[in-house]
Amino acid sequence: MNDAPSNNTKAMTRVTHKPVAERRAVVVRFCGDSGDGMQVAGAQLTYTSALAGNDIATFPDFPAEIRAPRGTLAGVSGFQIQFAADEVLTPGDEVDALVAMNPAALKTNVSWLKPGATVIVDDDAFDDRGLRHAGYDANPLEDGSLEGFDVLRAPVTSLTKEAVAETGLGRKDAERCRNFFALGLVYWLFGRDMQPTLDSIEAKFGEAEGGAVAAGARKALNAGWSYGETTEALERSYIVPAAKLPPGRYRNLTGNEALVLGLIAAARLSNKTVFYAAYPITPASDILHHLARQRAQGVRTFQAEDEIASVTACIGAAFGGAMAVTGSSGPGIALKAEALGLAVMLELPMIVIDVQRGGPSTGLPTKPEQTDLLLAMFGRSGEAPMPVLAPAGPGDCFDTMIEAWRIATRLMTPVMVLSDAFTANGAEPWRVPELSELERIPVTHPETPPEDGPFKPYSRDEMLARPWAVPGTPGLEHRIGGLEKKDGTGNISYDPANHQHMTDTRARKVENAQALIPDLEVFGPETGDVLVLGWGGTFGACREAVQIARTEGLSVAHAQLRHLNPFPKNMRDILGNYRHVLVPELNSGQLSAVIRARLEVPARSLSKVQGRPFTVHEILTRIRELCAGETTA
């Protein structure tokens, strides 16, 4: 069922002789020091699980500090994945199997464990030093605090060293293979094929240190598997059957990767070249990294001297006719605000990506939040509206980029896209579209001056868009700027009536995006007690909570809003069909405030600002409460 390239011909399919039990869904979480390679292990398990046909959702949980002191709580890096035989919408509320590489990792993650969960620890790391670093007074493996869990004390460090001894790797390099040992053990536990990972090791490390690194990683992986097979502490392994995904070609994508593919596709569909200007900032930098590698696709990246330069360079590039895109996170978007006002005034198309993180200020740079909604909608001087979109998960980032560019060019306006740290770094299987499934984006530039007089840069079509005339075109020379301008000619105008007209026109133009976007779709009954209205990255948790609530017989539906400005045409009607509208959002109620103000619907906010995504349980609990008693809003 898969045709992934396999260049390593030494087939490595090892078969367990212990009993195997079947599970529909499993949540695994790797955690360790930020240098322990937990993200690598997580990514490998994700890939092999996807190849095995499971549906998956992942949640990389990065520490804020790149290199916190070893073994401390601040340095713990985690990677959670749920793989399942059925549709998976979230990385899971609770963990079935935790791999903790040191005491700090155990301490920070023990609260996520399901009752009876399997806990695999590196026993070697639970020495006095490790326990002290993590702030444990007593060894949690011995004081009974892990009662109720299935604890496997594996001497990961010493067995890894033993396994890689003959490769000649030094102590440090040998210890770096610990993650592969742990991964091998997890592969045994869930019956995973090791071959894809062996191929990746080959591709990644190849001849490094004369091939010793690759050999070490391979041996550690195998040793981990063998340990699982031989240790008496593990009685059985588990298998999760393949899910029934709709037919097609699939690959695994993170949100940031999907954004990048979406941008490149949008450029192709409109016959444009991507100009991506950005300044390094977590968690948006990966967009720059991925795009920088795509020169052959015509992408031009520009790492600017600051956030303001990145957006103003986009203004220059857009004036020149390019597909200009800038990306950042909240603090950077705040810095771009003045220039975005100029872009609104100039009525030039561009895409602005905000990968939201915990704020305000530096806040929680690696953690997800949805606290920039009002910034995106209103955070500019004067009245400077722009369309705002939010992808509902990693894969949806692809389509959102194409839609954003379609709107930007059709209306001649900057478009803001709100992703978040959870969506950006999370991965899921994405069905690769055929090019023929993607609609072209027609973009035209006037080439000749009008017959009847001078070119008017602020003349408008039926959607109120102005012409995108680019330098280099004879006869269309014109000047645009941030001063208020007369509609039509674009000449500077201080006329009060004209300013009113232009302010209204800019707003109406953005409202016209309603004609370009689809209606809000509802999952579940058309009327009922509760509509859960999510936006952006909360999709999975909202949908799963609603699915469970419906199996409980509750009258509840779900809609995920991708279009935050303007709202879809049918939105007010839809919201009116339910007794309660519940808006779960990772902020203090920003969307519900806008809904109350604009649609006069008494939306209820389910707010969470903890730098963590919603659990399904949190949303489900609120749905049950609303259905159970409260009858008035």
Partner 1 sequence: MNKPDIIPEPMPADYATDQEVRWCPGCGDFAVLNQMRKVLASIKAKRENTVFISGIGCASRFPYYLDTYGLHGIHGRAPAIATGLKRMRPELDVWVVTGDGDGLSIGVGHLVHALRRNVNVKILLFNNRVYGLTKGQFSPTSFPGQISRSTPFGSVLEPLNALTTAIAANASFVARAVDTQADTLSEVLHRAAAHKGSVFVEIYQNCHVFNDGVFEYAKDKKTRADHVVELADGQPMVFGANRDKGLRQKGFGLEVVSLGDGVTEGDLVVHDEQAAEPTLAHLLAAMRHPEMPEAIGVLRAVERPTQNELMGKGDAPMKTQEEADRDLETLLKGKDSWVVE
Residues 394-433 that bind partner 1 (CB under 8 A): 432-433
Burial category of 66 from C-beta neighbours within 10 Å (exposed 0-12, middle 13-18, buried 19 and up): exposed
Instruction: Check residue 313 for interaction with partner 1 (CB under 8 A).
Output: yes
Residue 293: CB minimum distance to partner 1, A: 11
Instruction: Locate all alpha helices (DSSP H) within 385-470, ordered by sequence.
Output: 396-411, 421-425
Q: Verify binding: residue 499, partner 1, rule CB under 8 A.
A: no
The residues in 1-30 that bind partner 1, with binding defined as CB under 8 A, are 1-5
Residues 220-249 touching partner 1, rule: CB under 8 A, are 245-249
Beta carbon nearer to partner 1, 271 or 610: 271
Q: Give least dist CB 523 to partner 1, A.
A: 23
Site for partner 1 in 458-487 (CB under 8 A): 470-483
Q: Which phi and psi angles does 498 have, rounded to 5°?
A: -65, -40
Rounded CA-CA distance 613/146 in Å is: 26
The two tokens of residue 128 are 């006095």
The token pair at 1 is: 């069922």
Between 168 and 481, whose beta carbon lies closer to partner 1? 481
Do 563 and 400 meet the contact criterion of CB atoms below 8 Å apart? Answer: no
Q: By rule CB under 8 A, what string of x and - marks binding of each residue 247-286 to partner 1?
A: xxxxxx--------x--xx--x--x-x-x-x---------
Least CB distance from residue 494 to partner 1, whole Å?
12
Q: Tell me how far apart the alpha carbons of residues 26 and 239 are, in angstroms, rounded to a whole number.
A: 9
CB of 267 to partner 1, least distance (A): 9
Task: Tell me phi and psi for residue 61, to 5 degrees.
Answer: -115, 95
| Residue 289 Cβ vs partner 1, minimum distance, rounded to whole Å | 15
As a whole number of angstroms, the distance between CA 553 and CA 188 comes to 39
Rounded CA-CA distance 277/309 in Å is 8
Residue of the chain from 100, 324, 408, 581 that contacts partner 1 (CB under 8 A): 324
CB neighbour list of residue 627: distance below 8 Å, 6 or more residues apart: 529, 530, 549, 554, 555, 556
Is the Cβ of residue 232 or residue 452 nearer to partner 1 in the bound state? Answer: 452
Total interface residues for partner 1 by CB under 8 A:
78
Subset of residues 50 to 79 that bind partner 1, contact rule: CB under 8 A: 50-51, 53
491 near partner 1, judged by CB under 8 A:
yes
Does residue 88 touch partner 1 according to CB under 8 A? no
Q: Are 52 and 239 in contact (CB under 8 A)?
A: no
Ramachandran angles phi, psi of 137, nearest 5°: -80, -35
Beta carbon nearer to partner 1, 318 or 415: 318
Nearest distance from residue 381's CB to partner 1, in Å?
A: 10
Task: In angstroms, give the least distance from the CB of 23 to partner 1.
Answer: 21
Phi, psi at 583, each rounded to 5°: -115, 100
The binder of partner 1 chosen from 22, 142, 207, 306 (CB under 8 A): 306
Q: Quick one: DSSP state of residue 435?
A: G
Q: 331 to 350, contacts with partner 1 by CB under 8 A?
A: 338-339, 341-342, 346
Estimate to the nearest angstrom the gap between the alpha carbon of 574 and the chain centroid.
28
Joined together, the tokens standing for residue 97 give 């199997």
Query: Closest approach of Cβ 476 to partner 1, in Å?
Result: 7
- Alpha-carbon distance of 603 to 595, in angstroms, equals 7
CB of 42 to partner 1, least distance (A): 16
492 forms part of the interface with partner 1 (CB under 8 A) = yes
- In this complex, which beta carbon is closest to partner 1, that of residue 3 or of residue 600? 3
